Structure 1
Amino acid sequence: MDCEQVKAILTDAIEAEDIIVSQDGTHYKIIVVGDQFDGMSRVVQQQTVYAPLMDKIQDGTLHAITIKAFTSAQWQREKIFNG
């Protein structure tokens, strides 16, 4: 599964300002930016992003995934401090 396919699944399921998916072999790094994450714990944020991908995780299509979820304000700070 390529990055655009993962992004399409997430875009259909999550209302987000931005979704960035990168891949290194079998490892995917997913960044989702949206104000719906405001006030959510990190666990709930990750569950929100994992949920639409669960079928692909269970059937082995997706294996190793790192998820980072940010509000718009958090994402702006992240870009300033971490490039």
Structure 2
Amino acid sequence: MQAADIQRLIQEALPSAEVLVRGDDGVHFEAVVISAEFAGKSLIAQHRLVNAALGDRLQREEIHALGLRTFTPEAWAAQQAQA
């Protein structure tokens, strides 16, 4: 599994999302997902949407670890303004 594969799977499930995935060892990854679909959803619900996009790849440990940060576009803009 490569970072590009994870990015593609997430974008297929959340077509309007901006997805940034890093990881170069094939099993440990970090992803930032920015989507308007997260509006009004709890952090857990947002992460479940992303995890659902990856299907059973997490359970089969094709992806051993995924650090996940999710944002609405507004929250992302605020985050970037603080940086």
Q: C-alpha displacement at 1:15, in angstroms? A: 2.6
Matched positions, count: 82
Calculate the TM-score normalised by the size of structure 1: 0.88
The equivalent residue for 1:9 is: 9
| Equivalent in the alignment of 1:52 | 53
Quote how far apart the aligned CAs of 1:42 are. 0.5
**Counterpart residue type for residue 69 of structure 1:** T
The correspondence of residues 26-65 of structure 1 with structure 2, limited to 5 A, is 26-65=27-66
> In the TM superposition, what whole-angstrom CA distance separates every residue of 1:43-65 from its partner, at most 9, and x where no partner exists?
00000000121311111110111
| Runs of 5+ unmatched residues, structure 2 | none
Match in the other structure for 2:22 = 22
The ranges of structure 1 where at least 4 consecutive aligned residues each deviate by more than 6 angstroms after the TM superposition are: none
Mapped to 1, the partners of 2:36 and 2:11 lie a distance apart of 15
| Amino acid across the alignment from 2:51 | Y
TM-score, with structure 2 as normaliser? 0.88
Give the alignment's Cα RMSD to 1 decimal.
1.3
Contact 2:2 2:24 in 1 (8 A): no
**Cα offset for 1:17?**
3.4
Aligned letter for 2:60?
Answer: D
